[in-house]
C-alpha cells in the first residue's frame, strides 16, 4: 500500500512501476524450444518421464526449465520440473523428470520456457 501526506489531485489514479528505459523489449518472437515425451518408466508407476528437448532456434539456452503437468479430467493431478544446464544452438538433448502426485492421469502438458532471448 502506498501512503502519502501530499494532497492527491483530482483525476484518474495511475502508477508507473520501475524505470521503463531499464526494461528490455522483445522486438521479435521468443526462441522456440520444445519438449516431447519419449517414454514413461513403468517401474515408477509412470511417474518418471523420459523427455526429448529440442532448441529450434539459433540462440543457445542455459539453465532451461522444463515443466510437466499431468491432467485427469481437466484437473492437475501431478507435476514435476527438471533443468537442462545447456542446450546449444539447434541442439537436442534427453532428460528425465519425476512427477509428484497421482500416477493415474489422462494427458500430459510439457512446457519448456526459453531463458536466453537474443
For the chain, the domains span 30-112
Q: In the predicted model, is pLDDT for residue 14 greater than 70?
A: no
Q: What global pTM score does this model have?
A: 0.74
- Report the pLDDT averaged over residues 26-36: 84
Using a 10 angstrom Cβ sphere, with 0-12 exposed, 13-18 middle and 19 or more buried, the burial of residue 40 is: middle
Of 33, 28, 30, nearest in space to 86 by CA? 33
Q: Which fold has domain 30-112?
A: Immunoglobulin-like (2.60.40)
Q: Could you count the other beta carbons within 10 Å of the beta carbon of residue 114?
A: 16
Residue 75: band (very low, low, confident or very high) from pLDDT cuts 50, 70, 90: very high
Amino acid at each position: 500500500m502506498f501512503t502519502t501526506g501530499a494532497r492527491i489531485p483530482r483525476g484518474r489514479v495511475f502508477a508507473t512501476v520501475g524505470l521503463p528505459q531499464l526494461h528490455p523489449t522483445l522486438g521479435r518472437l521468443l526462441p522456440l524450444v520444445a519438449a516431447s515425451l519419449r517414454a514413461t518408466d513403468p517401474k515408477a508407476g509412470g511417474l518418471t518421464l523420459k523427455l526429448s528437448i529440442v532448441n529450434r532456434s539459433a540462440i543457445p539456452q542455459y539453465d532451461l526449465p522444463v515443466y510437466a503437468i499431468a491432467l485427469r479430467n481437466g484437473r492437475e493431478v501431478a507435476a514435476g520440473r527438471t533443468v537442462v544446464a545447456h542446450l546449444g544452438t539447434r541442439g537436442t538433448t534427453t532428460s528425465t523428470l519425476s512427477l509428484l502426485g497421482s500416477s493415474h492421469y489422462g494427458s500430459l502438458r510439457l512446457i519448456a520456457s526459453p531463458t536466453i532471448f537474443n
